[in-house]
Structure 1
Amino acid sequence: MRRADRLMQIVQLLRDGDLHRAGDIARATGVSLRTIYRDMETLAASGVPIEGERGTGYRVTAAITLPPLNLTMAEVEALHLAIAALGQASDPDLRSAGQSLSGKIGAVLPEDRSKAPASFGFAVYPFADAARGFRHLPIMRQAIRSRQKLAITHDGTDRTVRPLKLDYWGRLWTCVVWCETTKGFADLRIDQISALRVLPSLFVNETGKSLADYDG
């Protein structure tokens, strides 16, 4: 298993909000305790809001607020898109301003860990290329609202999906979908989508294929 895939698996294990001991995570992912400790440090440095420490356990908490503001998912997305655009600007002053703004926002994110937080929108490995998927977010949100099916290429695999919900995990965006190709639910990293096309067909809630079924 690639390290990036294992790290995503760990996020999936922790996202229920319960406390998970490192030994249990190690057994679930088939690696050593030392590897899990390094993975937790990497996830924290990448901005995933991890709470806990060695010997006690770990959990993921939702952290999408900037004191004294409470941000909506749409507002967090707008910040991501704006800062990512600045990072790609041809003007060096704008690029520098984007990096500076990223650092200032990252410094006030509610992340409780000993090291300085990674810059907002410019996460370290393994999610350094997360900005690649930002361009898909507006299309995916609209497809969720209008219940429009999507044809996507995710991590090299072509899929037809029903997008159900966008999630934000400390600078990493995922989308819960019902995949008509694999006939099951999937939680897909947006940055691993290389192609996306809106299909003309709509979908309706069906038993076993809805967000309520996924959450239940």
Structure 2
Amino acid sequence: MKRSDRLYALIAILKDGRLYRAQDLAIRLSVSLRTIYRDMETLASSGIPVEGERGVGYTARAAITLPPLNLTKTELEALHIGLAAVGSSMEGDLRNAAETLSAKIDAVLPVDNHNVTKSFGFAVYPFADAAQGFRHLTPLRKAIRSRQKLRLSFSNGQQSDVHPLKIDYWGRVWTCIVWNERQEEFNSLRVDQIEAVSILPSLFVDEPGKRLKDYIATQ
């Protein structure tokens, strides 16, 4: 049995709340006692509510185990907006829960580590930082769908006229892939660093060298 399968099996056994001796678990899973001890330490360190000690036994506090979920990017975006709101406005247990839940989601998201490191690094920013860009997500997404040109203003006073192409999500940070008309190149912009989004009175069309697929081809 693979280690990951064994850990899931242990969770399934312990979640009924009963006390299990390590020796009985070792026999049941056909592994050594030392392996069970290591697995319990792994489960506890990963946030599974396991309680117990060697020589006494182990149990799991009541917890909700969700089945695997397939989320769209929009659903994931909505989930993190909610977590960010709780994390930035609450204190105590709710804030801690928002942080640990967000960390669990980040840990299982598929990430292209090569591209992330090359561009801006895998982001684990405070909730307050990420919240700065939430208000821009809706107009950016509408502009992408309608091919609307935008003028983006930044906190440093700079402005860019862009063709918005795609919104990407990394950890708790959203970026927008754009074609920058003035620089005549693609940019990956952090949404939380945008101060204002203004709609320009024109649309853009797909032009060779300025399309999303052209950006993807350069990566």
| TM-score, normalization by structure 1 | 0.55
Q: Report the residue type matching 1:154 in the other structure.
A: F
Please state if 1:76 is matched with 2:73. no
What secondary structure, in the 3-state scheme, does the structure 2 residue paired with 1:106 have?
helix
Aligned equivalent of 1:101: 98
Cα separation, partners in 2 of 1:67 and 1:186, compared to 1, 3 Å: farther
What secondary structure, in the 3-state scheme, does the structure 2 residue paired with 1:186 have?
strand
Equivalence map 1:8-157=2 (5 Å): 68-89=68-89, 92=90, 97-108=94-105, 109-110=107-108, 123-124=124-125, 129-156=129-156, 157=158
Q: Report the residue type matching 1:101 in the other structure.
A: A
2:148·2:200 contact (CA, 8 Å) conserved in 1? yes
Q: Which has a greater percent of helix?
A: 2
Following the alignment from structure 2 to structure 1, what is the Cα–Cα distance between the partners of residues 188 and 97?
A: 32
Following the alignment from structure 1 to structure 2, what is the Cα–Cα distance between the partners of residues 183 and 137?
A: 24
Aligned equivalent of 2:9: none
Structure number with greater CO (CA < 8 Å, separation at least 6) is 1
The structural deviation recorded for 1:155 is 5.0
Q: Alpha-carbon deviations, 1:62-118, whole Å to 9, x = none?
A: xxxx961122111111112222233444xx57x853542342342353279xxxxxx
Following the alignment from structure 1 to structure 2, what is the Cα–Cα distance between the partners of residues 72 and 158?
A: 32
Corresponding residue pairs, total: 138
Following the alignment from structure 1 to structure 2, what is the Cα–Cα distance between the partners of residues 151 and 67?
A: 43
Please state if 1:193 is matched with 2:194. yes
Gapped regions of structure 2 (runs ≥ 5): 1-65, 111-122
The structural deviation recorded for 1:154 is 3.1
In our comparison, the structure showing a higher alpha carbon Rg is 2
1:81·1:135 contact (CA, 8 Å) conserved in 2? no
Please state if 1:181 is matched with 2:182. yes
Q: Percent identity, aligned pairs only? A: 49
What secondary structure, in the 3-state scheme, does the structure 2 residue paired with 1:82 have?
helix
Cα separation, partners in 2 of 1:159 and 1:137, compared to 1, 3 Å: same
Aligned equivalent of 2:160: 159
Aligned equivalent of 1:53: none
Q: Which runs of 4+ in 1 moved over 3 A?
A: 122-125
Q: Alpha-carbon deviations, 1:95-147, whole Å to 9, x = none?
A: 853542342342353279xxxxxxxxx9347x861221122111111110111
Following the alignment from structure 1 to structure 2, what is the Cα–Cα distance between the partners of residues 81 and 111?
A: 16
What secondary structure, in the 3-state scheme, does the structure 2 residue paired with 1:136 have?
helix
Q: Report the residue type matching 1:110 in the other structure.
A: V
Following the alignment from structure 1 to structure 2, what is the Cα–Cα distance between the partners of residues 209 and 67?
A: 41
Following the alignment from structure 1 to structure 2, what is the Cα–Cα distance between the partners of residues 110 and 163?
A: 28
1:133·1:193 contact (CA, 8 Å) conserved in 2? yes
